Amino acid sequence: MIIVLGSINLDIVVPVERCPRPGETIKGGDVRYLPGGKGANQALAARKLGATVRMVGAVGRDAAAGIALSGLRLSGVDCSSVVESERPTGVATIAVGADGENLIVVAPGANADVSVAHADALDLAAQDLLVLQMEIPAESVVAALTHARARGARTILNLAPAVPLADEVLRLAHVLVVNESEAATLADGVMPEALANTLSRRLGIAVIVTAGGEGAVCARDGKTFAVPAPKVAVVDTTGAGDAFVGALAQALDAGHDLPAGLARAVAAASLACTGFGAQSALPDQNTLSLILGESL
């Protein structure tokens, strides 16, 4: 089983011709209210590819909670470990440019109440895979990593948004996933391959650096392998990184090795860019198989 401990948000999405510069006001298109949050997106991404998934997180006692949880519930993600908070449901305000790039501001709300107690109470077995991001308090992520190691469960840590964590904490993860800018906060380097190698050698774990339309690079045990991204018509890049992490988790949970998991994750992230919104564009198994050339 995949357990995701992370954020659950309402995404308020506005299409714009281009993202505004500092101090600038621009007009946008019709607003959309969509389910989101890095944790929820990653849980749904794994579920749509066939994994059994449990979501652990928090929402408010407000109307936004229903929208924020709607995608998870409809897809069959186990939401029994999602608790209600006195704070409002987390909200992300997202401007999406005509080129598919985005500008995002997140108000954590109830996500800030995902505590160390939640992490310590995770019911993990050795065969489970725990997925974490950084839209909940850092101390809760650290506690969850420690708890997973004690239980013998595998972990994927997506260090997004970038938060400085000590090396001894990062070493608790089995796989670290960062994009180029997040990796640059941890290691000097220019190219993804250099960043991945530097971090992997320093931490002694598998490190994946994603590079948008260029694909991703993984370094592990002194070896490096890269997967280029397939060319797609980009509509909206929101949620592409979450599609990557969710697909990687599903692949590893299903018994694929890391190179195969990386290929599936890159393909899923690319497909997620071809539709609007973080969750609505997540691919299912049939769509992913087609782009990978797998028999259905």
Please compute the mean of the pLDDT values over residues 241-266 and round it to a whole number.
96
Using pLDDT thresholds of 50, 70 and 90, give the confidence band for residue 33: very high
pTM: 0.91
Q: What is the pLDDT of residues 181-236, one digit of tens each?
A: 787 777 655 456 678 888 899 999 999 999 888 899 999 998 999 999 888 888 88
Grouping H, G, I as helix, E, B as strand and the rest as coil, residue 101 is coil
Please compute the mean of the pLDDT values over residues 82-96 and round it to a whole number.
94
Instruction: Establish whether 242 is a catalytic residue.
Output: yes
List the domain boundaries for the chain: 2-20+31-290
136 neighbors 113 (Cβ within 8 angstroms): no
The first and second tokens of residue 110, run together, are 């109830």
Q: At what angle do helices 38-48 and 63-75 cross, to 10 degrees?
A: 20
- CATH code for 2-20+31-290? 3.40.1190.20
Total residues found in the chain within this entry: 296
Grouping H, G, I as helix, E, B as strand and the rest as coil, residue 285 is helix
Using pLDDT thresholds of 50, 70 and 90, give the confidence band for residue 171: very high
Beta bridge partners of 224: 219
- How many Cβ atoms sit within 10 Å of the Cβ of residue 215? 20
What is the model's pLDDT at position 236? 80
Q: Which of 11, 128, 242, 253 is catalytic?
A: 242
The first and second tokens of residue 140, run together, are 């809760």
